[in-house]
Structure 1
Amino acid sequence: MKPTGATRSFPLLLLTLLLVSFSEANHAALRCGTSLVSEDAWPYEVEKLCGKPDYVAIYPTAAVPGLGVVQTEEHWYYNPGPQRFIRKLTFRNGKLTRIDNLGYGFHTPSKARCSPSTLRHTTNEYELVARCGEPASKRVEWALPTQRKRTETWQVLQPVYVQHWLYDFSSNQFPQVVTLENGLVVDVESRPE
């Protein structure tokens, strides 16, 4: 009996499915030494296996009028240095819900040296604080995201936590306002006085 096209492509299909499932499982896990931390882990478990994070930011994610903030989200950043990716871990309700790669890590300077050019090359809140220190002032608000997700027939718009960080430089440079959405830098602009 001669093999048909369907029987010849079956091993290829099986291999493809295995690779896709492996890559999805790999995306949802964080390797710390010889241990693997996966989604649904407790913050205690992550810290025990991976050590203290380099930076932690806590955001309100739900508020009830009269009660105030009723739910928060934590972002933990791990910077393994310039040879590996910075990892951002998101915790909701006390469990790890998301692990993101944010680009290559870097050596943390002993003293923050910042310029408008440095601000324009940062991608997230951890990198801002590590390279430039805390801002002179902050504003926060809830707003619609600048990146809108589309479905086939309607748009899904979820409000995001937006921060505006003001960095004031020497007298011969304009202050700079960095806009972050859920901890990621989305804009940097000069603020003429």
Structure 2
Amino acid sequence: MRSSIYCLTVVLALSCSAAAEAQSLRCNGQLVRDDDTMADVIAACGEPNFRDRWIANSGLGFGLPMSEWTYNPGPRRLIQTVVFRGDRVIQVDTAGYGFRENALPASGDCDPGLITPGLSKYQLLQACGPPLTQVGYFITAKRVYEPGFSYPLTRNGGRFVYRERWTYDFGGNRLRRLIELDNARVVDVMLGNRGS
């Protein structure tokens, strides 16, 4: 009985440790966790490869400043993202394997098949360059990409998100792609008119 309690305690401790580790980022021997400040993250990890900022509608008549910082350690290591509300870390996550950064390609200079839901804005820019056009606005969505955080529910059960629509032109023999991003993640890819 005593050994089974000991085993259960060890298993619980390991699972709690794994959960805590999943919510943190280790840089140069320092741990970045929820509620750390932007200054704490820069001190531990240095400048990110990419910063994305937007204002989240709180549903209470004021905006919440949001940021997502991306750290790309290169091939064979995982990209780490750090999401801030205001100046405080609210989420640390991974976003697939890293890669070598090159100069950004020209707009639409990529394989359209690479653009898939879940892709981060940073990965999209690195793969396809800046869009031909882009607009952003707030919407109320029922299905939201949420990297570990959520916005207040509206009365109809939706959530306020910041949506962007990017357009890529792949030339005269291909259709344009209209890309929807919610909170810095691709959520939909639609076909547009023939490119120019």
- Scaled by the length of structure 1, the TM-score of the pair is 0.83
- Within the alignment, does 1:51 sit opposite 2:51 as a pair? no
Number of residues paired by the alignment? 181
Q: Secondary structure at the match of 2:188?
A: strand
Q: Answer with 1 or 2: which has the greater Rg.
A: 1
Structure 1 residue 77: deviation in Å? 0.6
Q: Secondary structure at the match of 2:170?
A: coil
The alignment's C-alpha RMSD in Å is 2.5
Q: Secondary structure at the match of 2:175?
A: coil
Deviation by residue 1:97-141 (Cα, 9 ceiling, x = unmatched): 100111111112334242312324871101011221211111223
The alignment-based identity, stated in percent, is 28
Distance change >3 Å, CA 11–CA 156, structure 1 → 2:
farther
Does the 8 Å contact 1:143/1:162 carry over to 2?
no
- Within the alignment, does 1:106 sit opposite 2:99 as a pair? yes
- Mind listing any 5+ residue stretches in structure 1 that lack a counterpart? 1-5, 150-154
2:35 and 2:27 mapped to 1: Cα distance?
A: 16
Greater RCO (CA < 8 Å, at least 6 residues apart): 2
- Scaled by the length of structure 2, the TM-score of the pair is 0.82
- 1:21 is aligned to 16
Distance change >3 Å, CA 64–CA 34, structure 1 → 2:
closer
Q: Point out 4+ residue stretches in structure 1 off by more than 6 angstroms.
A: none
- Within the alignment, does 1:96 sit opposite 2:89 as a pair? yes
Deviation by residue 1:79-104 (Cα, 9 ceiling, x = unmatched): 11121111111111211110011111
2:6 and 2:143 mapped to 1: Cα distance?
A: 43
Q: Secondary structure at the match of 1:192?
A: strand
Q: Secondary structure at the match of 1:81?
A: coil
